[in-house]
Amino acid sequence: MLRRRFLLGLLVLINLVLLLRLGLSEQGVFGYLDLDKKVLELEQKIEKADSRTLELSREIRRLKSDRAYQEKIIRSRMNYVKENELLYIFPDKVKLQKQGATADAKQN
């Protein structure tokens, strides 16, 4: 009888230790939930990278084969013009705000 109680007490103690470890350790439930959250974030980053890669490969293909697209990109990004054309370049709003802030600082 004493042996059974000792064995039962030992088993209860072992179960309590295992339950505490399951709940409170890094390898327990909270650690699993944290790792699951990190896995989801990484999967989203991978999906974004895959879509960006696909977009870039499409653009590369168009740049290699489509002359009209090449001309459009060169004209918009590098400010090239055709003969007898005028190009007006307006400064960006961000640059204007920075210049205005530095001018205000110099006046003060």
- Per-residue pLDDT tens over the stretch 74-103: 888 887 888 888 877 777 776 666 666 555
- State the DSSP code for 15: H
Statement: residue 105 has pLDDT above 60: no
Is-contact 63 70, C-beta < 8 A?
yes
pLDDT in tens, 25-35: 777 778 888 89
3-state class of 28 per DSSP?
coil
pTM for the complete prediction?
0.52
What token pair was written down for 51? 């879509």
What token pair was written down for 76? 């918009």
Question: What is residue 87's predicted lDDT score, i.e. its pLDDT?
Answer: 76
Question: What is residue 10's predicted lDDT score, i.e. its pLDDT?
Answer: 92
- Mean of per-residue pLDDT scores for the chain: 84
